[in-house]
Amino acid sequence: MKPELYDPINELVIEIVNASEVNDQQAQWAAYQALKALCERSEENGNHHPFQWETLGDFTHNKLLALGFYEKALSYASALALDEYIASICFAMAETHVALGNISAAKCLATQANEAAIKTDDLELRRSVSELLLETSSRT
């Protein structure tokens, strides 16, 4: 089942991607700000689904700010026991920590992602998580 805000978020993501492809930073920024405002309004209205915050994290260029959005998404995914979201959010957080050079945190999050991913049927996610876990294990 699609999250309640799937369609409007998907439209904004398409706007961000299209603006990025033609290097229209103003349109990209406007769509990103609309996405952020949608997430904030939704949360104020009691919608606590991890999808919106994970997506916002995915399109946030500031890695530390993205981690904050992912943490919020993870708290909602954990509260709802949504293993696929837990796995993908932990995976995104682990990748972000790798980019920041924090391999220890990345390895911990990759382990959490793996524990959640093995409970899902998403073989591509499971493969990606396993590869990241191997990468982080070899770097520590």
Q: What is the pLDDT tens value at each position of the chain, 140 positions in all? A: 688 899 999 999 999 999 999 999 999 999 999 999 999 999 999 988 999 999 999 999 999 999 999 999 999 999 999 999 999 999 999 999 999 999 999 999 999 999 999 999 999 999 999 999 999 988 76
11 HSE (CA, 13 A, CB side) = 5
To the question of pTM greater than 0.85 for the whole model, the response is yes
Q: State how far the Cα of 29 lies from the Cα of 39, in Å rounded to an integer.
A: 15
- Domains of the chain are 6-138 (1.25.40.10)
Cβ atoms of 64 and 106 within 8 Å: the answer is no
Which of 107, 104, 130 is CA-nearest to residue 117?
A: 130
